[in-house]
Amino acid sequence: MNQLIDRREALKKTALFMGAALSAGAIAGIMNGCKATPDLTYKPVFLSEDQARLVSELAQTILPKTDTPGAKEVGVPNFIDKVLNQCYKKEDQERFLAGLTAFEEDAKKSYGDSFIYCKPEDQVALTKKTLQAAVEEKKADPKAKRPFILTTKELTMLGYFTSEPGATKVLQYEAVPGAYKGCIPLKEAGNGKTWATR
């Protein structure tokens, strides 16, 4: 039996047991409260915990786990939080947070729920739609400030490929390179992988 149906049945039985019907608001609150909130693997310093969860899901949507670790597994959300806190000007931080809020509102409007609770295919669809709109926006006005989603993608990629798993499992990495071999095919230089140190 569907978990949602089980919850509804439990609510009905509770209401009957209490001798009254529960209000629609109470039912909605209980139903929403039954969702598992994704765990945070770090303590955010710049973002709130809810914002950190949203950034974590978005980073994981941009770089999901495959045969290599995803963005969450290598600590990209923590990286983004620290970079925003330590490296961004106040106006850029505010623009990022405004973009994050607008992105979340778009998820609720499009799919009826927070981005973190959307189905994976809906998360991908919203991310692609938002990225496409941002690319078009930048094409139309190259001098405009970078849209939130492009900043998030850039920080996700930077955090991922500068992490140890990103540099060693996805890219080619050699702490102390061997002999120099000029002008050879890339596949001979490292099985077709790009170098992490270039």
pLDDT in tens, 161-186: 888 766 666 666 666 666 667 777 76
Quick one: pLDDT at residue 121?
Answer: 95
Looking at the fold, whether 25 and 47 belong to one and the same domain comes out as: no
Tell me how many domains the chain contains: 2
Q: What percent of the chain has pLDDT over 70?
A: 65
Residue 180 forms part of a structural domain: no
Distance (Å, whole) CA 113 – CA 105: 9
pLDDT in tens, 112-137: 999 999 999 999 999 999 999 999 99
Q: What is the mean pLDDT of the chain?
A: 79
Looking at the fold, whether 21 and 46 belong to one and the same domain comes out as: no
Residue 55 forms part of a structural domain: yes
Instruction: List the structure tokens of 103.
Output: 């992105």
CB environment 37-69: b (16+ within 10 A), e (fewer): eeebeeebebbeeebbbbbbbbbbbbbeeeeeb
Residue 48 forms part of a structural domain: yes
Residue 136 forms part of a structural domain: yes
Looking at the fold, whether 52 and 15 belong to one and the same domain comes out as: no
pLDDT in tens, 87-101: 999 999 999 999 999
For residue 11, give its domain range: 1-34
Looking at the fold, whether 43 and 25 belong to one and the same domain comes out as: no
Residue 23 forms part of a structural domain: yes
| DSSP 8-state symbol, 143 | T
Residue 197 forms part of a structural domain: no
Its pTM stands at: 0.69
Does residue 20 register a pLDDT over 60? Answer: no
85-169-59-41 Cα dihedral, nearest 10 degrees: -70
* Highest mean predicted confidence (pLDDT) among 29-38, 39-48, 56-65, 182-191: 56-65
Question: What would the mean pLDDT of 43-71 be, rounded to a whole number?
Answer: 92
Residue 175 forms part of a structural domain: no
Looking at the fold, whether 73 and 111 belong to one and the same domain comes out as: yes
Looking at the fold, whether 148 and 60 belong to one and the same domain comes out as: yes
Looking at the fold, whether 54 and 121 belong to one and the same domain comes out as: yes
